[in-house]
Amino acid sequence: MPINILMPALSPTMEKGNLARWLKKEGDKIKAGDVLAEIETDKATMEVEAVDEGVLAKIVVADGTADVPVNQLIGVIAGDGEDAKTVAGGVSGGVGKAAPAGAQPAAPIAVAASPVSAPAPASAPAALNGARVFASPLARRVARDAGLDLAKVSGTGPHGRIVERDVKTAIAGGGAKAAPAPAAARAPVAPSMSDEMVKKLFTAGEFTEVPHDSMRKTIARRLVEAKSTIPHFYLTVDCELDTLMAAREAINNAAPKDRDGKPTYKVSVNDFVIKALAVALQRVPDANVTWTEAAMLKHTHSDIGVAVSIPGGLITPVVRQAESKGLAQISAEMKDYAARARARKLKPEEYQGGTSAVSNLGMFGIKNFSAVINPPHATILAVGAGEQRVVVKKGQPSVATVMSVTLSTDHRAVDGALGAELLSAFQKLIENPIGMLV
């Protein structure tokens, strides 16, 4: 029986991917474990492996094809004893075409970097009679704008989840029941300018159009969703770094040398920041939370995401259980994450989730800023540059190295007083770093 190769879902929220390139040609023999193709998401490049033997009979989606929907047929393998040409003749080429008759409905392929399993509730199909409807944020927005009732839409995404194409199909077919928009949604909104209106404001030939790639589109969508749906609240405090800088120098000077005479580790101020935030969340556990509509999720560990700039955008790898890791281990993990992030080789489970995050622009000389919360986090810490400032101590002016940090909180989960308590705990740890080492 022919074996379908489908576009895999590399994360619970993935709806489309780019087929970067095939590593096998039509007619090639396939063994279990062979890498068939490379798939690009907005964050990483992943490999698709075969888990069965056969012959690659047909490549349905060509190299370089962008925005291929999850579960879309991308190729077909002729099984043991089948004629590859016959199997290929029964497949219509191109994205969106049907699979050959009699082909297995599910693709027996594996992704080399295994994606994170979707949480159990999200694996349920859309439900009626007031039950929760499981749909992607984009599908919800499109449905809301069209006045459609998602409970009447059939989902074709992973585990029956409603995705954008399901909503558009319902709109085109008129098969979904209209739902009255809530009062807040019916409030007048100023229309945004169209692309053509924007371009008319500038002289033709004096600008170059650079199409958005999938990463930039995803960043734009998530930022709009975050600022539109999360009530941000900001708290800022100054931290003196002189004691920390002395401790950092002593730690780095004490680092053992490898065979080449180089230190085995070199911790940075950012490593201290990650550790301090992780410990602070343990000391203020009510702030180590995630908001959901039904309940507050209080986390046992402090999993800290760290914003890393990469070509075309940024990614946030997560240091798991950072409260229990030493500075040298955090430093080593971050160096590894940063290198693989820039090569787009991070696994989904390495950049998804987390309980809070750090965004540090101090190395660029930025004094202070406010970061946008990265859902599902309830907090994010924006870190500015350490600089020499005049401060008053015991009524006398003196010079100290000072760093400004701003905590953005989801006010539904972490209100002003609780956020201030967390930021105070962080400040004490930064100014007395020995407290995070015991």
SS3 of residue 86 by DSSP: helix
- Provide the β-strand partners of residue 359: 382
Q: Which residue has the tokens 């019916």?
A: 186
Residues with catalytic roles: 411
110 neighbors 10 (Cβ within 8 angstroms): no
Residue 33's nearest CA partner among 51, 47, 46 is 51
Q: What is the four-CA torsion angle of 61, 65, 71, 73, rounded to 10 degrees? A: -10
Q: Cα–Cα distance between 376 and 411 in angstroms, integer? A: 13
Q: Cα–Cα distance between 278 and 323 in angstroms, integer? A: 5
Strands 3-6 and 73-78: antiparallel
Q: Cα–Cα distance between 56 and 91 in angstroms, integer? A: 12
- For 142, list phi and psi in degrees, rounded to 5: -65, -40
> What is the DSSP code (8-state) at residue 241?
-
The DSSP result for 375-437, as a single string, is TT-SEEEEEEEEEEEEEEETTEEEEEEEEEEEEEEETTTS-HHHHHHHHHHHHHHHHSGGGG-
Residue 273's nearest CA partner among 418, 427, 87 is 427
- For 145, list phi and psi in degrees, rounded to 5: -65, -30
Q: Strands, E, within 102-195: which ranges? A: 109-111
Sign of the torsion formed by the C-alpha atoms of 264, 269, 270 and 273:
positive
